[in-house]
Amino acid sequence: MIWLDTHPDVLQWGSEELVIPYRSPIDNKIHRYFPDFFVRKRSPSGKIENVVIEVKPHNQTVPPKAQTKKTKRYLSEVYTWGINSSKWEAASEYCKDRNWKFVVMTEKDLGING
C-alpha cells in the first residue's frame, strides 16, 4: 500500500471498495467478491485509467496439477482455484463493461521473495 501512496501516477486508491457478484462453482449460488484494490491512475500516455487489482500468492493463480491421489491438500487447491477463477471471470466482465482493467498480481509482480 505504500507503493500506492507514493507512486506519482496513482491519483487515488481504495481497498475492498467494490462488490462484484459471482456464481460459485461449489454451490452454484451468487456470492459477493471484494477485490483487494481499486486504483485510479495516469497511464504513460497521460490517460486516466481505472484498475481493479487482486493480490494472491502465485500458487493460487494457476490451476492445480491433476493428481491420481485425491489428498486433502489437492482437494483444497481445486476448491480454491474454482472459487478464484469464478471471481476473476466475474471481475473481468465487470471491468470490461466499464472499460476498466482487471489485474491479478502475485509476490513475483510485487518483487517480494516468497
Cα–Cα distance, 73 to 6 (Å, whole number): 39
User: Which pLDDT belongs to residue 3?
Assistant: 82
Instruction: Return the domain boundaries, the chain.
Output: 2-105
Q: Tens digits of per-residue pLDDT, 25-42?
A: 999 999 999 999 999 999
What are the tens digits of pLDDT across the range 54-95? 999 999 999 999 888 889 999 999 999 999 999 999 999 999
Buried b (16+ CB within 10 A) or exposed e, 29-65: eeeebebbbbbebeeeeeeeebbbbbeeeeeebeebe
Q: What's the pTM value of the predicted model, to 2 decimals?
A: 0.88
